[in-house]
């Protein structure tokens, strides 16, 4: 959110493990950060995305920000985890109890 409390942009980040390393990848920009733990990976990707968005805004390079989104396999895994989380949080009628606005999803969320 900006200083007026208005959300300008939502970027979704999927955090998963690959060979013991935590990988945080932005779905929309494809940006990646890696770390030994999920918290550090999240902190690093947030800092990276903040820098990238600030650069795009300052220099008018908006299309560059979204020119290389995450690969389809990452999107598919993201949506699989979203469905798993939604199934866990569903009410008796099969409808989600609350709508999901997910900015960061870790592979462990659905376990």
Total number of domains constituting the chain: 1
Shortest CA distance to 14 belongs to which of 41, 40, 54, 35? 41
CB-CB contact of 103 with 13 (8 Å): yes
Domain that holds residue 23: 13-110
CA–CA gap between residue 75 and residue 23 (Å, rounded): 14
- Per-residue pLDDT tens over the stretch 47-85: 999 999 889 889 998 898 899 999 999 999 999 988 887
The answer to whether position 26 is within a domain reads yes
**pLDDT score at 111:** 45
Q: How confident is the model at residue 6 (pLDDT cuts 50, 70, 90)?
A: low
> In angstroms, rounded to a whole number, what is the distance separating the alpha carbons of residues 35 and 15?
10
**Residue 6 belongs to some domain of the structure:** no
pTM over 0.75, yes/no: no
In a domain, 95, yes or no: yes
């Amino acid at each position: 959110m900006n200083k007026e409390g208005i959300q300008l942009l939502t970027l979704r980040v999927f955090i998963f493990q690959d060979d013991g390393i935590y990988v945080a990848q932005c779905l929309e920009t494809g940006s990646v950060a890696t770390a030994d733990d999920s918290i550090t990976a999240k902190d690093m990707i947030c800092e990276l995305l903040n820098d990238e968005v600030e650069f795009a805004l300052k220099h008018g390079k908006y299309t560059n920000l979204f020119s290389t989104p995450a690969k389809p396999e990452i999107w598919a895994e993201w949506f699989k985890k979203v469905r798993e989380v939604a199934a866990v949080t569903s009410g008796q009628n099969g409808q989600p109890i609350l709508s999901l606005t997910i900015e960061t999803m870790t592979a462990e969320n659905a376990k």
